[in-house]
Amino acid sequence: MQWDDEGLVLGGRRHGEAALILEIMTRQHGRHHGLVRGGRSKTMQSLLQPGNSVTATWRARLEDHLGTFQIEAGDLRTARFLASPAAMLGFMTVAALLRMLPERDPHPGLYDAVGVLTERLDDPDIAARLFIHFERAFLAELGFGLDLVSCAATGTNENLIYVSPKTGRAVGAISGEPYKDRLLPLPPFLINGGRETKPTARDIRAGFMLTGYFLKTWVFEPRGQEMPPERERFISLVLNGHE
């Protein structure tokens, strides 16, 4: 068995004296593990840092075996991430979310979204907004898509300012007024792509609260797991850049 694919390093763990079991998110083969011989050498350690893009060749005798990776360098972002605590925390959160996906299950669209996000994690002007869009895409990939196109009660797409915590559907201002204390705020930049809307700090906070609520309720709690602790630290740092 053999394949070649592009991938994003998520992490790794030691194996024996010199080898490393590497975990990468690949475009066509999903989240995948493989043994890297000599992966703990100085040269390979710099290549195999979380957040780096690589080209991987995977080989195994049978499809369900661990197999081995041969890795070539792509975009090495370690230095950039080390210079930005927010970027490092953001990527740690991304990796924790990706580990909720079934192993070896391809998600090419989500992989592309991760690539865009990872490139801009150290850009305070755009990182928070991209991260919220990524979390929304992640929810959709797991079958928990948020419907923010029209009001759940009336079907119209005007003055959408709430989201139902039960259904994940948008709710208009008039329909939601009697229940506003039980609804989640919908920031404008999540409506119709929000291309013309620059989010405020309040919008960013609302966006993280929205995706965080559904990640916790629909993804982590049913599995008996806690939300990644790095996420709150990341949010705190990026909000400081918007206030």
| Mean pLDDT value of segment 197-223 | 94
Q: What is the mean pLDDT of the chain?
A: 93
What confidence category does residue 240 fall into, taking pLDDT thresholds of 50, 70 and 90?
Answer: confident
The H-or-E segment that residue 133 falls in is helix 127-141
**Alpha carbon 173 to its chain's center:** 30
d(CA 52, CA 91): 11
Go through 201-211 and write b for each residue having 16 or more CB atoms within 10 A of its CB, e for each that does not. eebbbbbbebb
d(CA 124, CA 110): 22
Write out pLDDT tens, residues 113-160.
999 999 999 998 899 999 999 999 999 999 999 999 999 999 999 999
d(CA 111, CA 158): 32
What confidence category does residue 82 fall into, taking pLDDT thresholds of 50, 70 and 90?
Answer: confident
Q: What percent of the chain has pLDDT over 90?
A: 87
Q: Is the distance from CB of 5 to CB of 30 less than 8 angstroms? A: no
Structure tokens at 198: 């620059």
Domains in the chain, start-ordered, CATH in brackets?
2-76 (2.40.50.140), 80-148+186-240 (no CATH)
Write out pLDDT tens, residues 168-194.
999 999 999 999 999 999 999 998 765
Write out pLDDT tens, residues 10-49.
999 999 889 999 999 999 999 999 999 999 998 899 899 9
Give, as one character, the DSSP assignment of residue 151. -
Angstrom CA distances, 205 to 164, 188, 208, stand at: 17, 12, 5
Looking at residue 234, its pLDDT comes to: 96
The H-or-E segment that residue 139 falls in is helix 127-141
Looking at residue 241, its pLDDT comes to: 65
Q: What is the DSSP string of 198-233?
A: PPPHHHHHHHHHHHHHHIIIIIIGGGT-PPPHHHHH
Q: Is the distance from CB of 135 to CB of 144 less than 8 angstroms? A: no
Collect all residues with Cβ–Cβ distance below 8 Å to 13 and sequence separation of at least 6.
20, 21
Cβ neighbour number for residue 161 with a 10 Å cutoff: 19
What confidence category does residue 95 fall into, taking pLDDT thresholds of 50, 70 and 90?
Answer: very high
Q: Is the distance from CB of 41 to CB of 18 less than 8 angstroms? A: yes
